[in-house]
Amino acid sequence: MQETRELLRIEHLKKYFSTPSGILHAVDDVSFVLDEGKTLGVVGESGCGKSTLGRTILRLHEPTDGKIFFDGQDITGLDKKRMKALRRDMQIIFQDPFASLNPRMTVGQTISESLIIQGLVDKQDKRSLDKRVAELMDLVGLAPRLINSYPHELDGGRRQRIGIARVLALNPKFIVCDEPVSALDVSIQAQVLNLMQDLQDSFGFSYLFITHDLSVVKHLSDEIIVMYLGKMVEKAKTSRLFANPLHPYTQALLSAIPVPDPDFPVNRILLEGELSSPINPAPGCRFAKRCPKACDKCREADIPLKEVEPDHFVACTLVR
Amino acid sequence: MSTTRTQRKQRSLWFEAWRRLKKNKLAMAGLLFLALLVVIAISTIIIDIATNKSYYNDHVIKQNLRLRLQGPSKDHIFGLDEFGRDIFLRMLWAVRYSLFMGTIAIAMSTIVGGILGAIAGFYGKRTDNIIMRFMDILLAIPSMLLATAIVAALGTSLTNVLMAIAISYIPTFARTVRASVLTIKDQEFIEAARALGASDLRIIGKYILPNSLAPLIVQASLGVAGAILSIAGLSFLGLGIQPPTPEWGSMLSNARSYIRDGWHITVIPGLGIMLTILALNVLGDGLRDALDPRLKN
């Protein structure tokens, strides 16, 4: 057994937004632990709060309640200055490589921006700045001639590589990957995913991998959290989750994975209805409205997560 | 290594915009006309310095009442005005006021309005409300009336006219910048900068302003046209540049009593104002098209 060290611990994290029509529960009581060098997948449909979760952990949104421990330190109350120092260790790769790069900055400028903001390289020292940028571009597989190109001249895959290089420049320990490949073509998705995995192997990052693409998380993650309307509904090791999904929502999600074989018997669980509103949600299981197995008990009170087997947690009344 | 590093020439968005602008013949004609005006303004200033204003005193403001209202001729291609002064020379000497004062006034209001708009858009909420409501108050007063009031209260001097026009244009620029800041600040690259730990000042200066510059440039080029009109208007009312200094607006104003005796002395300053405004508007339109990245061709 390899010894692992805890890097990130989230305890009862909540993020509510107040909107004109009520309080929006974007992230509602999420807890988990992420070890060094591991990948935690977060899956769920659009609007389930998975992106908000990632951003709240980095304190790009202020958490409403709950605690975030990074490297053993509670970072929820840290001031701007100490947070800035921490940002060297925790970074984010965004979904849309078209929107996440400043259109007025060249590739070289974007990458050096990380180094300059965090003071890793002296701004005056052009030589070592250029050297480091070239190093990083090489690392993510960008040709050196692209250094003076602007993002609008590059394709999605190359842009996403810039986004990765910018993060890599800081040598972080923990990276939130907010659907990093869902905006890319399938052929490029694989390249970028392989790059991210290679980088993890050589630098030992921990990833929080947010996606709606189950085949991607299956490929990458050690552990998976399934979210529905801000709530964690199931959490398990990847192999266990795919072998034995217990929550009806997880079952429906997994049944929706396309199989590249036309003769494969299709056994889809089709969900009725729409995602209910996350504004002032009713008590009880958030999924009860669409759940084919819902009973009265589901609508009475929030269902706590229960450990059904070691490291496999489910929030469902049917499971005991 | 240096042999393989054949870096491509930088083709920034500005370069692309310039390439597109060059294709627009009307806008280039406007730009050419404005360039000519700049050359005229600078050469007259140089002449003034070189001759210690003696040329100016002898030819531009010296009266010759015997020849008053003489029509265009070989010696005086635009004719002579109501005091027998050469209109052509007076037109040339007046360029600097319209052009430079218009530009300086708009530059001032672009900077002040731009900063106010950026702050309002970036911080939002209370800050936004306070700044923008104040801008609304300024906007509620017609700009000409506001400028007239400021000049009337502070007295007629070059600086006061400048200030008056600059202040009356601030709200327009604040609104333009605020609007583009609002659309830019929610984009992911701003969040990326935040995640890197960039300060607010850096985010505004390096991320938001460069990306909201395009509408501001268009607004400024159209604003200069408005400011030139305002200066001419103030002078026409006697609140701007004081005689005998030549200025298009005041030339027009003084000439209007003689419109039956000599058509040329009203038409020529009027044409000057009109052509300049037209050139600026055409250029502004061209810039708007050139800076719009959706019109890539």
Residue A33: pLDDT above 50?
A: yes
Tens digit of each residue's pLDDT (9 = 90 or more) over A136-184:
888 888 888 888 888 888 888 888 888 888 888 888 888 998 888 887 8
Any idea what the CATH number is for the domain that residue A179 is in?
3.40.50.300
Residue B135, pLDDT score = 92
Q: In the structure, how many helices (H) and strands (E) does chain A have?
A: 9, 12
Single pTM value for the model: 0.74
**A193 within domain boundaries:** no
Measured CA distances, B169 to B110, B114, B212, B230 (Å) = 8, 11, 18, 11
Going edge to edge, which strands form the sheet with A6-19? A22-35, A6-19, A65-70, A73-74
Cβ–Cβ under 8 Å, residues A72 and A8: no
Where does residue B295 rank: exposed (0-12), middle (13-18), buried (19+ CB within 10 A)? Answer: exposed
State whether A180 and A77 are in the same domain.
Answer: yes
Cβ–Cβ under 8 Å, residues B268 and B212: no
State whether A28 and A104 are in the same domain.
Answer: no
Tens digit of each residue's pLDDT (9 = 90 or more) over B62-98:
777 777 777 777 777 888 877 888 888 888 888 988 8
**B71 within domain boundaries:** no
Domain count, chain B: 1
Q: Where are the alpha helices (DSSP H) in B186-263?
A: 188-195, 200-202, 209-211, 213-236, 248-255
Chain A contacts of B212, Cβ < 8 Å?
none
State whether A33 and A181 are in the same domain.
Answer: yes
Q: How far apart are CA A23 and CA A12, in angstroms?
A: 18
Going edge to edge, which strands form the sheet with A206-211? A90-93, A174-178, A206-211, A39-43, A223-228, A231-237, A312-314, A306-309
**A63 within domain boundaries:** yes
In this structure, the strands spanning A231-237 and A6-19 are unpaired
Residue A259: pLDDT above 80?
A: no
User: Is residue B56 within 8 angstroms of chain A, CB to CB?
Assistant: no
Contacts 24+ apart (CB under 8 A), A67-70: A67/A9, A67/A10, A67/A11, A67/A12, A67/A13, A68/A8, A68/A9, A68/A10, A68/A11, A68/A13, A69/A8, A69/A9, A69/A10, A69/A11, A70/A7, A70/A8, A70/A174
Lowest-confidence pick of A112-126, A269-283, A294-308, B176-190 = A269-283
**A161 within domain boundaries:** yes
Record: contact A106-B10, CB cut-off 8 A: yes
Three-class DSSP category at A63: coil
Phi/psi of residue A299, nearest 5 degrees: -95, 0
**Tokens of residue A105, six digits:** 């900055």
State whether A114 and A160 are in the same domain.
Answer: yes
State whether A49 and A116 are in the same domain.
Answer: no
Residue B13, pLDDT score = 67
**B104 within domain boundaries:** yes
Record: contact B4-A55, CB cut-off 8 A: no
Domain range enclosing A110:
97-171
**B241 within domain boundaries:** yes
Domain range enclosing B90:
17-53+80-295
Residue B289: pLDDT above 70?
A: yes
**B1 within domain boundaries:** no
Cβ–Cβ under 8 Å, residues A303 and A295: no
Three-class DSSP category at A99: coil
**B8 within domain boundaries:** no
Residue B159: pLDDT above 90?
A: no
Cβ–Cβ under 8 Å, residues A229 and A46: no
State whether A46 and A154 are in the same domain.
Answer: no
Record: contact B8-A106, CB cut-off 8 A: no
**B152 within domain boundaries:** yes
**B227 within domain boundaries:** yes
Helix (H) or strand (E) holding A301: none
Q: How far apart are CA B248 and CA B273, in angstroms?
A: 7
Chain B contacts of A105, Cβ < 8 Å?
206
Chain A contacts of B211, Cβ < 8 Å?
102-104
Residue B246, pLDDT score = 86
**A150 within domain boundaries:** yes
State whether A69 and A102 are in the same domain.
Answer: no
Interface A-B: count of C-beta contacts within 8 A: 80
State whether A65 and A212 are in the same domain.
Answer: yes
Where does residue A260 rank: exposed (0-12), middle (13-18), buried (19+ CB within 10 A)? Answer: exposed
User: Is residue B153 within 8 angstroms of chain A, CB to CB?
Assistant: no
Query: How many angstroms away from the CA of B166 is the closest CA of chain A?
Result: 29
Residue B31: pLDDT above 90?
A: yes
Assess whether the previous peptide bond of B72 is cis (omega < 30° from 0).
no
State whether A217 and A245 are in the same domain.
Answer: yes
State whether A127 and A179 are in the same domain.
Answer: no
Q: How far apart are CA A111 and CA A137, in angstroms?
A: 9
Cβ–Cβ under 8 Å, residues B122 and B204: yes
Give residue A2's pLDDT band: very low, low, confident or very high (50, 70, 90): low
Domain count, chain A: 2
Give residue B295's pLDDT band: very low, low, confident or very high (50, 70, 90): low
Nearest to B164 by CA among B141, B133, B132: B141
Query: How many angstroms away from the CA of B189 is the closest CA of chain A?
Result: 4
Chain A contacts of B208, Cβ < 8 Å?
none
**B7 within domain boundaries:** no
Of B4, B188, B196, the CB nearest to A94: B188
Record: contact B196-A103, CB cut-off 8 A: no
State whether A84 and A113 are in the same domain.
Answer: no
**A194 within domain boundaries:** no
State whether A136 and A65 are in the same domain.
Answer: no
